[in-house]
A and B are shown apart, each in its own frame.
Chain A
């Protein structure tokens, strides 16, 4: 079945599929066989204790980290294996980092348009129009000419989201997008994420914003020790977790 889907973006394929994903750092096996399908338009939250492999899983999904085995597919197209045009595939997978990673030497607009121009080959005017549109989606088109150092943390993260959005990806990965932010700036970023999700974006989000997960996520995954321990709709995972490890983890948040 996977091979049929792999032959080219079948309409019914999941936006993102992870199959039997394994990853070790030296003798330390961090991912012990992850299987995950994210449907088109779905927002999936990933929770789990520190060191459980959440970031590693996310980074394997665009091969910033090279999986040892297993496969990753975007809309049925393979990201792993021989003959894959990785740079082309990566444009279909937006990534948002905990520390924003905006380019400090470029303006907000420069950050958003760099890949449009250098990877997608757009002319300057076309790229800037698309960049302004992306900045508009995160409510920052009036900050286009500002440099990252002139923006608040929340604004920087929204520019980073715009940078990923501008490439019109099929799926977006978020690795703790709000945990480097002052509490009063978290809301703005979550609002943008909610908007983006509302416009149909497929999102895989590592985050401990439980309240947000509860009312915005379609599905919550609990990871521990390199495996998915439990998953389901938020009301089930938060309200009636079946696994002892999930309960133990959640109890630390509920006090």
Chain B
């Protein structure tokens, strides 16, 4: 029992690890702040493309979404960071993470937005167009607000997934929270920093998970 406490819940080690892990948390939040809006925006664009009238636009959008939903994010990240240099394209860890997560995230956000757009009855757009709104105005003022509302829990769930996914950035030595905790673990030979990081993830995500649960219940009722 004592050994388990020492190995996983050593408060001294946690206290020593805290500054570095908090710095890692800062990087995690920074990645999220860049990657979530970018991914949502990209997803929206590809979702709109995937329901466009133009066949070529539709085809390209759907191909993009399929490709990056089928590519494991870890493979994508390592390919961008360690593979592309073979083509003479060397980029920083942060840029690699941003690009990789943008591609992965956009595909997932696109699929959610697409479901949202398809959930809005056709008559809504027809009513709007019949009053003289352009296609873009109809999307902005009529279709999109309803689409987003209909898939809000899924969008928020995806945000949770993205936050968790940022831990992958540790493989390209970007000093986010998992990477920081791992560093301390490797010098102290003690797992407590990892427990600390896990605790911070929980603290970060639990409120969001609660909010989603509440949304889902409201929609179900």
Q: How many Å lie between the Cα of A97 and that of B99 in the bound state?
A: 46
Segment of B37-45, B62-70, B137-145, B196-204 in the binding face: B137-145
Task: Judge whether B132 and A103 touch: CB under 8 Å.
Answer: no
Task: Judge whether A118 and B145 touch: CB under 8 Å.
Answer: no
Interface string of B111-132 (1 = CB under 8 A from A): 0000000000101101111111
Residues in A whose Cβ lies below 8 Å from that of B137:
118-119
Task: Judge whether B124 and A167 touch: CB under 8 Å.
Answer: no
Known: A103-B124, A105-B145. A115 touches B133 (CB 8 A): yes
| Shortest Cβ gap from A169 to chain B (Å) | 9
Q: Which of B126, B141, B149 contacts A114 (CB 8 A)?
A: B141
Whether B173 sits at the interface, judged by CB under 8 Å, is no
Q: How many Å lie between the Cα of A118 and that of B121 in the bound state?
A: 21
Task: Judge whether A91 and B132 touch: CB under 8 Å.
Answer: yes
Task: Judge whether A87 and B130 touch: CB under 8 Å.
Answer: no
Whether A125 sits at the interface, judged by CB under 8 Å, is no
Q: How many Å lie between the Cα of A114 and that of B137 in the bound state?
A: 10
| Shortest Cβ gap from B83 to chain A (Å) | 45
Whether B188 sits at the interface, judged by CB under 8 Å, is no
Whether B146 sits at the interface, judged by CB under 8 Å, is yes
**Which residues of chain B in 136-165 are interfacial with respect to chain A, using CB atoms and an 8 Å cutoff?**
137, 141-142, 145-146, 149
How big is chain B's contact interface, by range? 10 to 19
Interface string of A89-106 (1 = CB under 8 A from B): 011011101010111110
Whether A123 sits at the interface, judged by CB under 8 Å, is no
Task: Judge whether B123 and A99 touch: CB under 8 Å.
Answer: yes
Residues in B whose Cβ lies below 8 Å from that of A167:
131-132
Whether B6 sits at the interface, judged by CB under 8 Å, is no
When C-beta atoms are compared, the residue in chain B nearest to A62 turns out to be B130
Whether B134 sits at the interface, judged by CB under 8 Å, is yes
| Shortest Cβ gap from A164 to chain B (Å) | 7
Residues in B whose Cβ lies below 8 Å from that of A104:
146
Task: Judge whether A114 and B123 touch: CB under 8 Å.
Answer: no
Task: Judge whether A91 and B131 touch: CB under 8 Å.
Answer: yes
Task: Judge whether B127 and A90 touch: CB under 8 Å.
Answer: no
Query: How many residues of chain A are within 8 Å of chain B by beta carbon?
Result: 24
Q: How many Å lie between the Cα of A244 and that of B166 in the bound state?
A: 74
Q: How many Å lie between the Cα of A64 and that of B137 in the bound state?
A: 16
Task: Judge whether A90 and B132 touch: CB under 8 Å.
Answer: yes
Task: Judge whether A93 and B130 touch: CB under 8 Å.
Answer: yes
Task: Judge whether A101 and B132 touch: CB under 8 Å.
Answer: no
Residues in A whose Cβ lies below 8 Å from that of B124:
101, 103
Residues in B whose Cβ lies below 8 Å from that of A87:
132-134
| Shortest Cβ gap from A107 to chain B (Å) | 13
Q: Could you say which of A91, A118, A167 has the most chain B C-beta atoms within 10 Å of its C-beta?
A: A118
Residues in B whose Cβ lies below 8 Å from that of A160:
127
* A interface residues (Cβ-Cβ under 8 A, vs B): 62, 64, 87-88, 90-91, 93-95, 97, 99, 101-105, 114-115, 118-119, 160, 163-164, 167
Q: A87-B133, A99-B121, A103-B142 given. 16 additional CB < 8 A pairs?
A: A87-B134, A90-B129, A90-B132, A94-B131, A95-B127, A97-B126, A101-B123, A101-B126, A103-B124, A103-B128, A105-B149, A114-B133, A114-B141, A115-B128, A118-B137, A163-B127
Q: List 30 A-B contacts (CB under 8 A).
A: A64-B126, A64-B129, A87-B132, A87-B133, A88-B132, A90-B129, A90-B130, A90-B131, A90-B132, A91-B132, A97-B126, A97-B127, A99-B123, A101-B121, A103-B128, A103-B142, A103-B146, A104-B146, A105-B149, A114-B128, A114-B141, A115-B131, A115-B133, A118-B141, A119-B132, A119-B133, A119-B137, A164-B131, A167-B131, A167-B132
